[in-house]
Amino acid sequence: MASTNEIRYFFPRDSAESERLNSQHEAWMSDIGYALHPSIQTHESMRVADIGTGTGIWLYEVAQHLSATSQLDGFDISPSQFPDPKDTPSNITFRVQDLLQPFADELLGKYDVIHIRFMCFALSRNEWEQAVKNLVALLKPGGYLQWGDAAIGTLRAATTDPTQSTRYMEKSIEVISQLAVATNKDFSCVERLPLTFKEQGLANCVQTHVASDATLTTKSHFNVAMLLGIESILTTIVKFGGNDVIKNNRNVREMMSHIDDELSRGAFFWYKVIVTIGRRPL
């Protein structure tokens, strides 16, 4: 397998991944119920940033609820999934930016809201503090940082029937856990975000949790989201040379077929989805 230092982002950057990101957003909206946290008050001419924006679907969602005079900016380390500029409203922009590098001086202290989501597979254990520091620097006094993520450290294969096999689901979780260790990921960083926010000067830090099986609909949506995510991760493992379990795309197809069968028999992925917000003091 290629050096794990090369695998910073666990997912491909192609049309299938764009579809996965958009599907993931729809699951979020259906089951979390909001794009912008309800405690964040909106007003005319807001400036909002979305970090790790991908296809920009979150920005398009939020733009529907803000005034046309608001400015929305999407940032991502790669432009591969940015929408076509000719299809982009004039008040939405997209820029290439590494979250871990300082943002341009003209952006510092300019944003009412910074949004970031699903970074648990992107950041190494020693990068979370720097990421939060860079985001806080973008906020106006009184501005909000909203971070949504999956607590993958809580991920497990579950079933209400003790005779139901979850062998392949468990194997996929094991593969992901091994890759996380090899690439210095620490999934518990998601649950420690309130402390990290406070250490970087934010106040009124609140974290809310939603279980992936909170309702039957939630369970279905987040099962699909996890299934698609696992397939993308396994495909990336093959791209970088494979491992003892996943050596080629045939292995990926076989694994996914077995997991799909287990899900169809009533098993499900259980994990927590977490939203953390904090506010820069006035």
Cα separation, 229 vs 212, in Å, equals: 14
Instruction: Domain ranges for the chain, please list them.
Output: 4-279
Those residues with Cβ within 8 angstroms of residue 134's Cβ, 6 or more apart along the chain or in another chain: 99, 100, 101, 102, 103
Q: Which CATH superfamily is domain 4-279 in?
A: Vaccinia Virus protein VP39 (3.40.50.150)
| Phi, psi (degrees; rounded to nearest 5) at 171 | -65, -40
Local structure of 208: helix, strand or coil: strand
Print pLDDT tens along the chain (282 aa): 444 444 455 555 666 666 766 677 777 777 788 989 999 999 999 999 999 998 899 999 999 999 999 999 999 998 988 988 888 999 999 999 999 999 999 999 999 999 999 899 899 999 999 999 999 999 999 999 999 999 999 999 999 898 999 999 999 999 989 888 888 999 999 999 999 999 999 999 999 998 888 888 888 888 888 888 899 889 888 888 888 888 899 999 999 999 999 999 999 999 999 999 999 999
Residue 190 · residue 274 · CB < 8 Å:
yes
CA 120, CA 186: separation in Å to the nearest integer? Answer: 8
Which tens digits make up the pLDDT trace of 38-82?
Answer: 999 999 999 999 999 988 999 999 999 999 999 999 999 989 889
Tell me the one-letter amino acid at 184. Answer: N
Q: What is the pTM of this model?
A: 0.89
b/e 142-172 (16+ beta carbons within 10 angstroms → b): ebbbbbbbbbbbbbebbbeeeeeebebbebb
